[in-house]
Structure 1
Amino acid sequence: MLTFRPPYFIITLLLFITEVLIALFLHDEIIRPYVGDFLVVILIYCFLRSFLNIAVLPTALFVLVFSYTLEVLQYFNLVEMLGLHEYKLARIVIGTSFEWIDLLAYTLGVLFVVSLEKTKTACRWNRSGSKIS
């Protein structure tokens, strides 16, 4: 079940750096709130695929449910309930405000990664005539 996949790990690191740069330097109304949410589900997906040998769809669905759960917990002010409101990192990682559009960004991010995986698999089929894992 455990297997290390360097390409996914490299993408994870690049996405993490991108997310940190967005959080530190962008304070706009589109990229930080929406592109950041779109990218974070891809980051989580790639992180899981870096170490776990789980199929694409179960991994993608787990990431989507996890993201939705965190968003709903934001609605209930999880950061406040845990007494972490004074910690900026907790507010950034967990989030502090529920937005319906965030659910859309998570969904689009997961659909994007699933479509990339499907395309990657199709290309492997076309090159070899059979599936390569």
Structure 2
Amino acid sequence: MFFQKQYSAVAFFLLLIEIAIALFVHDAFLRPFGGDFLVVILVYATLRGFTRLSVYGALTSTLLFAYSIEILQFFNYVQLLRLEHFKIARVIMGTSFSWLDMLAYTAGVLFVLIVEKNLLPKIAK
């Protein structure tokens, strides 16, 4: 089994932050946009922690996954799956499509790309 503890630790830390945001933050900016920005970083770190995907492979997979979920929200897939009565399903899966969410996902992936290609190589030296 492949495992990179640095990426897995980042993923775990981001998961804790996402849970805290979901439970305790009820504003109009951090919860909707900050959470979306961070969730793509969480997915990316999880992929890099448990797979041999390259930076670009993991980024592409992450962005396609995030976009797919957002598009499914456009079609009300939580209701189609008859999960609308379960708050946890609504929180995790989302219930409304937003172009701003797509922008937040894109910004998160671009942030990871900048960190991976510019900052991490300098830190590793």
Q: Secondary structure at the match of 1:91?
A: helix
**CA distance, structure 1, for counterparts of residue 105 and residue 29 of structure 2:** 14
Distance in 2 separating the partners of 1:25 and 1:124: 34
2:107 alignment partner AA: L
Once residues 59 and 9 of structure 1 are traced to their aligned partners in structure 2, the CA distance between those partners, rounded to angstroms, is 14
User: Counterpart of 1:113?
Assistant: 112
The alignment-based identity, stated in percent, is 45
State the shift of 1:121 in Å.
5.2
CA 123–74 in structure 1, closer or farther in 2 if over 3 Å, else same: same
SS of 1:84's equivalent in the other structure is: coil
Secondary structure at 1:98's aligned position in 2? coil
Which residue in the other structure is 2:69 paired with? Answer: 70
In the alignment, residue 108 of structure 1 is paired with which amino acid?
Answer: A
Q: Corresponding residue for 1:21?
A: 20
Show the 5 A alignment for 1:79-118: 79-118=78-117
Aligned length: 125
Q: Which has the larger radius of gyration?
A: 1
- What code does the residue aligned with 1:9 have? S
Kindly provide the CA deviation profile for residues 65-113 of structure 1, in whole angstroms up to 9, marking residues without a partner as x.
1100100100100000000001111101110011110000000000001
Distance in structure 2 (CA, Å) of the matches to 1:15 and 1:122: 22
1:3: Cα distance to partner? 1.7
SS of residue paired to 1:28: coil
Cα RMSD of the aligned pairs, angstroms, is 1.3
Q: TM-score, normalised by structure 1?
A: 0.90
